[in-house]
Homo-oligomer: A and B are copies of this chain.
Amino acid sequence: MALRKKAGEPADGGGRHAAGEDPSKRTQILDGAKRVFSRTGFDGASMNDITREAGVSKGTVYVYFSSKEDLFGAMVEREREVLLGDVIALLEGPEPTDERLTRYARRLVTLLCSDEVVRWVQVLIGTSAKMPELGAKFYEGGGQKGWRKLREFLDREVEAGRLAIPDTGLAAHQFAVLATAGLWRRRLFAHLAEPPDAALVEKTVASAVQVFLAAYGR
């Protein structure tokens, strides 16, 4: 299923649209593309499926996006911010640090191991070889942003004297991976067919907080 043309310069696709283009039509196309790409991956999706799902004609898609790759990129661009959403907000509050970390981790694991996110990440990682900048961009908007927020939170906690962390950037990574401790990895490889149940999540999260605080708590 090799691509016919290496897609020279994406004509438009990026964002700003020429005179006469209908932004709602663009949204409509992206919505259809999202559903189809998520179901079948990049190579598995046919432009036919996408036009059918979006309810527009083939020609119209090519008015808004110069190629399949361009469309895929635009969709990633639009979606990447949405996935992690407001998880960060859970870190804030008057509760003790461990409680807030637990709350945050619980939500993070549940989200990352959900069918939707796993599917999405599989698709993105699968295309990272062909379109590396896309994977990177996606990570920027997803994991990277979350990491930055978490680091800032840790900085504040350190400043407040509630944690003692020499390298909060590294610690933020550590907490994130401790939270999923193998669950996410196994989900990506389909070694876990279903999202982990609440008990497993709870056990993993509790241990993650405990290990983290054993190292960085006061």
A contact residues vs B (CB 8 Å cutoff): 1-2, 39-44, 46, 119, 121-130, 132-133, 135-136, 138-140, 143-144, 147, 167, 170-171, 173-174, 176-178, 180-183, 185-186, 188-191, 193, 203-204, 207-208, 210-212, 214-216
List the B side residues contacting A215 at CB < 8 Å. 210-211, 214-215
A179 vs chain B, min Cβ distance (A)? 9
Whether A190 pairs with B1 at a CB distance below 8 angstroms is: no
- Nearest residue (CB) in B for A127 is B126
Q: Specify the main secondary structure of chain A where it touches its partner.
A: helix
- Nearest residue (CB) in B for A208 is B174
Q: A207 contacts which of B123, B174, B203, B214 (Cβ < 8 Å)?
A: B174
Knowing A139-B189, A186-B139, A188-B125 touch, does A203 contact B170 (C-beta < 8 A)? yes
Knowing A123-B129, A211-B212, A214-B215 touch, does A181 contact B174 (C-beta < 8 A)? yes
List the B side residues contacting A183 at CB < 8 Å. 173
Most buried by B among A119, A185, A193: A185
